[in-house]
Structure 1
């Protein structure tokens, strides 16, 4: 008991000294210090209120027939839905990735958007890019060479969009349909895309319609183009929507949409 009484006495003495010290401070300084504390507190409160939460949106895009919609369903519920037809409207939904549905730990839902690849429907992509945490650009690894020009042009347009460059939105080039024996490897596809995009950036001058709209160019002048030169991270992976081999896509999503 004596120890407690002594502790109380010391606390009271400390408080009294604090009060005496405050009384010695000129009122102007005291009010100024209080105002600074109030404004600082208000500033941090406002920042926390208006800070935008990190996006959980992942956009699937690519040419028609590349297998985007099958990947969408595989990610959502683990089914290919016995194959799909070309989408004319975006498929979207917020869900726990199918591979994580049975995990006991808390997992952040992902908002997945499958944007149609038909040229006339591609403007819909611009509706989702501002909120994208990542872009999965799906390539048909089986029919890659016949579509090389079209794939490269579409990818070039995405990589030069201001909404992608300024926010440094990561892009995964997903080589789909790799279950086929005649499918091209991801390394081959990567090299061919780099060569074709190098030709595109040379042919598209800095004042072309594409660059005026996007205000960004790719690569380093005087050097052959490679994806490593992009301001945002561009990686390449493989998938097989029909056989549920989508580990590269799932890893990309979790790297950019944290649980």
Structure 2
């Protein structure tokens, strides 16, 4: 019985082969009739179209899931990193000399049902000599969180403003329109400054930097975007990158506004 079935299948395949053969023969004759230059041009057009379609699909599917934590040393970036990762402050940690980097599901979302997209979080050291490391991560950032110490803000206002100015004026960063969250950390302390006060002071300082850098060299102009509107006082609302301000307390674990920003730009 099994032998009969195999014989029938074999005969069916031979039948199909005999039916297809004339079509293949006609196809070969048609190809030979086409001038070589036209044939090569047609093949090239098909290959080129296929390549661009694949490239388009790949580019369309590329969605960044990296969130960069930047800011001055001591602002509390590393505490926030650990709160996001495992819900602990690690006793305040110490000043980071190397980036803290990890890909994980946010601690607050571990118990949620369904598929949760992991976030790639990078905590870039705030020391001035180590800031160039920021260049490694900004190109693939879905969002940048600029952490400000709300408790010791005034003594560090100028330095924080200059660092933020340098980020917001990078041509490549502006072209990508990467969103920025200015996160006022340590607001649990009674003497901490409010986010509105911090926002206004940062805007005033950045306005001063903008005015003082009008005589930069041509080489710098190529790599630096001019902030604000000429003749008007600077405001974050004038930036091409969306800039928002929020509050947090890394030590107490009050980071809901930070998590909201992350999930706005890295969807589950």
Q: TM-score, normalised by structure 2?
A: 0.80
Q: 1:207 corresponds to which residue?
A: 216
Q: Of residues 204, 207, 215 in structure 2, which corresponds to 1:195? A: 204
CA distance in 2, matches of 1:85, 1:165: 32
Q: Given the superposition, is the C-alpha separation of residues 126 and 40 from structure 1 closer, same or farther in structure 2, using an over 3 Å criterion?
A: closer
Q: 1:3 corresponds to which residue?
A: none
Deviates more, 1:47-56 or 1:171-180: 47-56
CA distance in 1, matches of 2:217, 2:264: 35
Aligned residues: CA RMSD:
2.7
Gaps of 5+ in 1: 1-26
Q: Of residues 44, 47, 50 in structure 1, which corresponds to 2:56? A: 47
CA distance in 2, matches of 1:197, 1:38: 51
Q: 1:99 corresponds to which residue?
A: 108
1:156 matched to 2:151: no
The structural deviation recorded for 1:215 is 2.4
Q: What SS does the corresponding residue of 1:166 show, helix, strand or coil?
A: helix
Contact 1:157 1:210 (8 Å CA) reproduced: no
CA distance in 2, matches of 1:173, 1:123: 20
Count of residue pairs brought into register by the alignment: 235
Gaps of 5+ in 2: 1-32
CA distance in 2, matches of 1:69, 1:225: 30
CA distance in 1, matches of 2:187, 2:217: 36
The runs of at least 4 consecutive aligned structure 1 residues that moved more than 6 Å come to 34-39
Q: Given the superposition, is the C-alpha separation of residues 103 and 192 from structure 1 closer, same or farther in structure 2, using an over 3 Å criterion?
A: same
The structural deviation recorded for 1:107 is 1.2
CA distance in 2, matches of 1:210, 1:254: 38
Q: What SS does the corresponding residue of 2:92 show, helix, strand or coil?
A: coil
The structural deviation recorded for 1:163 is 2.7
Q: Given the superposition, is the C-alpha separation of residues 41 and 122 from structure 1 closer, same or farther in structure 2, using an over 3 Å criterion?
A: closer
Q: What SS does the corresponding residue of 2:101 show, helix, strand or coil?
A: strand
The structural deviation recorded for 1:241 is 0.2
1:238 matched to 2:247: yes
The structural deviation recorded for 1:40 is 5.4
Q: Given the superposition, is the C-alpha separation of residues 210 and 100 from structure 1 closer, same or farther in structure 2, using an over 3 Å criterion?
A: farther
Q: Of residues 96, 111, 123 in structure 2, which corresponds to 1:114? A: 123
Deviates more, 1:171-180 or 1:122-131: 122-131
Contact 1:206 1:217 (8 Å CA) reproduced: no
Q: What SS does the corresponding residue of 2:251 show, helix, strand or coil?
A: helix
The structural deviation recorded for 1:52 is 5.8
